[in-house]
Structure 1
Amino acid sequence: MTPFYVAIFILGLSSRATAANFTQVFEWKELDYEWPSEASRTKALKDNTYNPAQIYPRYMAVHGTRIFLSLEKNDGAPASLVSLPTSSASSAPPKLTPFPSLDIHLNESEKCDKINRAEGLQVDSVGRLWLLDWGNSFFNCSAKLWIFNLNNNETELIHRFSFTGKMHDLVIDETANGTFAYIARWSVVNIVVFSLERNESWIVETPGVEVLSIAMSPKEERKKLYIGQSSKEELYSISVAALRNGTRTANPEFIGKWTETPFRMLVDNHGTLLAASLWENFIYSWNTSQPFKEQRFYEVAELDYIWPFSFALDQNGTLWLTEFDKAKTPRFRIFKESQECSGSCPKSGTA
């Protein structure tokens, strides 16, 4: 596929480049899987366990030469965690490969040792993929944290929580004294902290703040966890040091208000916080080294989907972006921040 460039609108000051640009990597009219055989695909279409119209991307992670996506769990989505290559010599967009295999997803939702509903994704510095899994309340399967070794695609750890459902997003905090995950659930007044070395998790109350989105600053000094409040526009921060030390209550510090409530946030290696909101056709940014001031970072003419964007950083700090519109063709696009451009790339695509 021949790439083309998409210019990002950036207004005002930002710690990123003043004219960042994206290259479109792939686009799809409809998403399809790699199937064991054509017969298995035909059967899945017939019994509606696979329906291209029901494949909706949610979260994204990038590592090495692979992109990982979690997909909305629908009857027509046989696997909610998939991978695809970061580039292809073919003009056709790649198919989705169920990760780590199809049999850990397909027709096995009643078994608690399977991936029931994949949600937030992150890759750590040593090449492990961390995945949140809602579990299944109907079959009394608790929510889980999966950790996969991407060197061999094998499961390294499954941590089972004491609750079911509401898993949303996570960040990974790698320290000299251990690795932690901070986990946001949908609309609860707490976050979950997980210690990898102890294989232990605990609840940290966030009084007065129903947590939705979550992100973490990159710099070790005065490291902060940023949290967005559910159904409100407020942005808060929590000291990461207190979370590492085992506190069971963290009092969020108010930072400012977005125009809309972000469902997804990320802080890049320069300290710019990106935020995407439900149903909105734009992404905000804020330079965290300056007083809070919302900027319009990226905007498209129109997108018809509740979850229009996701984004991720690869191990080189390059920003990747997904864009989805269920009412148009192509429905789904993946972009990569262009390293070749310095403000002179031609505008194209939907931006």
Structure 2
Amino acid sequence: MKCIRFLLILTFVLCIQNGFSAKLEERFHWKEVSYAWPSDAAKEEAIKSGRYQSENNLPLGLEVWKSKLFITVPRWKSGVASSLNYVDIESKESSPALIPYPSWEVNSLDSDGTVTTAETTGGRTNAPKATVVDGQLADNSSIISTFRIRVDECDRLWVMDTGLADILGNPKQIAQPALVIFDLNTNKLIKRYTIPPAHIKDDTFFANVMVDAPKNGCEDAFAYIPDLGAYGTVVYSYKADKSWRVRHNFFYFDPVNGDYNVGGVNFQWTDGVFSMALGEQTEQGTRTVYFHALSSTKEFSVPNYVLQNKTRALSSESYYDYSFIGDRGPNGQSTAEFFDEKTKTLIYTQVNKDGIGCWNTSKPYTPDTQGIIDSDSDALVFPNDLKIDRNGNVWVLSDRLPVFIYKKLNPNEFNYRILTGKVSELILGTPCE
């Protein structure tokens, strides 16, 4: 009897330990970003010309597709070698070199963030860099600078290209903001959709994209592009190849939640709607779109069919189609969120807490129902982006962005990390279980 009791107690203790000890596993880390250069000579030339300044290359966004782990490097400063890249998930290296996607040619700019004026022969450009002909990009697959990207259910990569280089230095609008869509099975460009001037305001900044593709309906996909600077959302119809700009009070930042303390840096931001996540999809293709402003602790939602119906979306009556869900509580600012269909849980970053939070969508949205699945004052300093792959694994990229912007990163420390873990295991022992 004593033996049975002991075994029961031991089993209970092990279950408790497993439930509370699940942590994100560090998969990759970098002190400074390196690239898979075509040759040593190409790297030396890029350094000499200023096209590559390693300290200015900060990873920000990520996405997963099969064996590819995509990593974006926005052109915050000059000397960013390539903005859209990937590494092999199965790489045995802890700090693998980034491989430009789909090629070096479409990711290359001059050292000062300008493009080369191309000479053309028979309509084809001879220059190896992203080029402009008569004020237009010569190659529509060119990527100037991207923050966030998204892979849809149809194996397409959607890239929100800001077209803006040297953002923190001498900003240059090389190309107009555009959605650039690739076929991942062929690595070929599907289309480039330039955001119409009417959708762009004085403070517009498009740094994210969410793709809503119904089951068995690749042509019926929509993209939702939040404008964190001018507090709106652009909705794009893939089939119609048209877009419309939606306004709502819930897209604005919260003035009492614009203060941040991250990595020893105190700063204030006024970023509006930024994070978006798609809830569970019905057979009819309807789903909830969750969203929140970066400088806010409140969560909101709107049915996707409201955004997708231009007439309804632009009507003043649509105001009441939006819902306030709840509040994450003090210091609950978040840069990214993603819905896990298996556990019905929303996973999101917690930048002021050096952590990753969660919320079970079957429960009320209150501070008491929010969980922390991991927190680390070193590995998770400014968790910037996260995605959940088709196997239920969450992938998190942390990059110490505030230190990069307002101070200086230490090149002798690991500044950029990618961590991963199974959502179903990470939520054990939290209110999200």
* TM band (smaller chain): 0.7 to 0.9
Shift of 1:72: 2.5
In 2, Cα distance between the equivalents of 1:233 and 1:94? 35
The structural deviation recorded for 1:243 is 1.6
Contact kept, 8 Å, 1:266 with 1:275, in 2: the verdict is yes
Q: Are the structure 2 counterparts of residues 122 and 282 from structure 1 closer, same or farther at C-alpha, using a change threshold of 3 Å?
A: same
Long gaps (5+) in structure 1: 1-16, 345-351
Write out per-residue CA displacement over residues 101-137 of structure 1, whole angstroms, 9 at most, x where no aligned residue.
1111212654334312112211111211111011248
- Indicate the residue corresponding to 1:134 in structure 2: 162
| Preserved CA contact (<8 Å) 1:279 1:303 | no
Aligned amino acid, residue 375 of structure 2: E
Q: 1:194 maps to what in 2?
A: 236
Letter in 2 for 1:236: F
* Match of residue 52 from structure 1: 54
Structure possessing the higher radius of gyration over alpha carbons: 2
Gaps of 5+ in 2: 1-18, 116-131, 165-170, 253-272, 401-408, 429-433
8 Å Cα contact 2:147-2:207 kept in structure 1: yes
1:187/1:230 contact within 8 Å kept: no
Instruction: Say whether 1:318 aligns with 2:393.
Output: yes
Identity of aligned residues (%): 24
Query: Which of 270, 289, 294 is matched with 2:370 structurally?
Result: 294
Once structures 1 and 2 are overlaid, which stretch shifts more, 64-73 or 178-187?
178-187
Q: Does 1:143 align with 2:177?
A: yes
Distance 1:43 1:253 in 2: 54
Following TM superposition, by how much is the alpha carbon of 1:28 offset from its aligned partner in structure 2, in angstroms?
A: 2.4
Determine helix, strand or coil for the equivalent of 2:42. helix
* Secondary structure class of the residue paired with 1:242: helix
Taking structure 1 as reference, are residues 323 and 267 closer, same or farther at Cα in structure 2, changes over 3 Å only? Answer: same
Q: 1:143 to 1:26 in 2, by over 3 A?
A: same
- 1:7-64 deviation per Cα after TM superposition (whole angstroms, max 9, x unaligned): xxxxxxxxxx876443332222322001121111112222332122222111110000
Given the alignment, which residue of 225, 231, 251 partners 1:209?
Answer: 251
How far the C-alpha of 1:232 sits from its partner, in A, is 2.5
One-letter identity of the residue aligned with 2:417: R
Cα distance, 1:321–1:232 mapped onto 2, change above 3 Å: closer
CA distance in 2, matches of 1:39, 1:234: 51
* CA apart distance, 1:294: 2.3
Q: Secondary structure in 2 aligned to 1:263?
A: coil
How far did 1:83 drift?
0.8
Q: Is the 1:67–1:86 contact (alpha carbons within 8 Å) kept by the matching residues of 2?
A: yes
The amino acid across from 2:88 in the alignment is P
Question: Which one of 214, 229, 232 corresponds to residue 175 of structure 1?
Answer: 214
Matched, 1:240 2:304: yes
Cα distance between partner residues in 2 of 1:159 and 1:80: 18
Structure ranking higher in helix proportion: 2
Please report the TM-score for the alignment, with normalisation by the length of structure 1.
0.83
Change (3 A) 1:234 1:288: same
Aligned residue identity for 1:272: T
- Is the 8 Å Cα contact of residues 282 and 299 (structure 1) preserved in structure 2? yes
- Structure 1 counterpart of 2:265: none
TM-score (norm 2): 0.68
| Distance in 2, Cα, partners of 1:129 & 1:76 | 25
Greater displacement, 125-134 / 138-147 = 138-147
* Separation in 2, partners of 1:339, 1:272: 9
Corresponding residue for residue 160 of structure 1: 194
Counterpart pick for 2:292 among 228, 234, 237:
228
Could you say what the CA RMSD is over the residues aligned between the two structures, in angstroms?
Answer: 2.8
Higher relative contact order (CA 8 A, sep 6+): 1
After superposition, the Cα gap between the structure-2 partners of 1:329 and 1:42, relative to the gap in structure 1 and judged at 3 Å, is same
Over 3 Å counting, the alpha-carbon distance change for 1:229 and 1:107 in structure 2 is closer
Inter-partner Cα distance in structure 2 for 1:285 and 1:254: 18
- 1:262 partnered with 2:334: yes
* Cα 1:192/1:66, change in 2 over 3 Å: same
Give the corresponding residue for 1:13: none
Distance in 1 (alpha carbons) for counterparts of 2:427 and 2:308? 41
Aligned length: 326
In structure 2, the residue matched to 1:94 is: 96
- Checking the alignment, whether the CA contact within 8 Å between 1:174 and 1:180 is kept in structure 2 is yes
Shift of the 304–314 alpha-carbon distance from structure 1 to 2, 3 Å rule, reads closer
Q: In structure 2, do the counterparts of structure 1 residues 208 and 21 end up closer, same or farther at CA, with 3 Å as the change threshold?
A: closer
Judge conservation of contact 1:180–1:196 (CA < 8 Å) in 2: yes
Tell me if structure 2 keeps the 8 A contact 1:21–1:343.
no
CA contact (8 A) 1:272 1:286 kept: yes
Q: d(CA) in 2 for partners of 1:301 and 1:230? A: 20
Q: How far apart are the structure 2 equivalents of 1:311 and 1:86?
A: 15
Corresponding residue for residue 80 of structure 1? 83
Change in CA separation of 1:208 and 1:336 when aligned onto 2, cut-off 3 Å: closer
CA distance in structure 2 between the partners assigned to 1:182 and 1:200 by the alignment: 12
Q: Deviations over 1:69-125 (max 9, x none)?
A: 11131212111110110012x445321011111111212654334312112211111
Q: Which moved more, 1:92-101 or 1:325-334?
A: 325-334
Structure 1 312/208 Cα, relative in aligned 2: closer, same or farther at 3 Å?
A: closer
One-letter code aligned to 2:163 = G
